[in-house]
Amino acid sequence: MNRTAITVSLVPEAKGGPFILWDDLPTSCAKAKALGYDAIELFAPSADVVRAAPDVLRRHGLALATVGSGAGWVRHKLTVTDPDPEVRARARRFVVELIDAAAPAPVILGSMQGRGSRAHLLDALREFDEEAGRRGAIFLLEPLNRYEGSLVNTLAQGVELARELRHTKLLADCFHMAIEERSLAGALAAAAKDVGHIQLADSNRRPAGHGHTDWPSIAAALRQIGYAGYLSAEALPWPDPDTAARLAMEGIRKYFG
């Protein structure tokens, strides 16, 4: 089975969002390890918090799978496509600092894409791609559903951008894909060599197996393309964080074990 990860949010402003564990980092790591996860996906408020994470992770025998950049939007209202060049510059500095702190773990660009121009997005991605490559990491671009983003909604749209870059891969989030893709398995197959990370959430953003997503077909597609990265549980903490963490691992083992 692929290595597994679970989302941990340390951003109070995001409370109630699609991150499973919300405790402090040592407590979240202890819970993740007890359930059999290999790593965490960290939603952190700053680069300083990311820099402090490896010591805690080592004590619990966990790896850092990825780092989300969404706090730049949730906490500071920064996007890399804002009409104001100063805001764009601040947004880019925020992401670059995360890249530096997280390496070699990849950083994700999701909500910080904003709804501005594709040219501004590509310009920012070129900088992030170069910074990640310099540190021996990849960078992850996350296609978002139409209600959360307007620039990159499908894996195919993400491929168009990723193939202009050297160190950028796609984060395939099954929740967003369930809204935007005609076939999740087909989209994964078509984007095969550009997929660098998988997030698992069902059609209703609950843990896998608690909506109507066709998980066997997704598992078959990942085997077909030889996906070797993390299977990361990023779902709503339904019905509560601890139960969601357990249900997410049960779903991973059931469908991908």
φ, ψ of residue 169 to 5 degrees: the values are -120, 175
Each residue of 121-155: pLDDT tens digit? 999 999 999 999 999 999 999 999 999 999 999 99
pLDDT reported for residue 16: 87
Mean pLDDT score of the chain: 98
Each residue of 198-247: pLDDT tens digit? 999 999 999 999 999 999 999 999 999 999 999 999 999 999 999 999 99
Nearest CA to 201 among 170, 156, 161, 247?
247
Over residues 142-171, the mean pLDDT reads 97
H-only helix segments in the chain: 25-34, 47-59, 71-74, 85-102, 118-134, 155-162, 174-180, 184-190, 215-225, 241-256
CATH of the domain at 89: 3.20.20.150
Distance, in Å, from the CA atom of 38 to the CA atom of 231, rounded to the nearest integer, reads: 10
pLDDT reported for residue 18: 96
CA 160, 125, 47, 72 torsion-angle sign: negative
Each residue of 25-44: pLDDT tens digit? 999 999 999 999 999 999 99
- Total count of domains within the chain: 1
Domain range holding 232?
4-256
Question: pTM above 0.75?
Answer: yes
Cis peptide preceding 104, ω within 30 of 0: yes
**Cβ–Cβ contacts within 10 Å for residue 234, how many?**
28
pLDDT at 87 over 90: yes
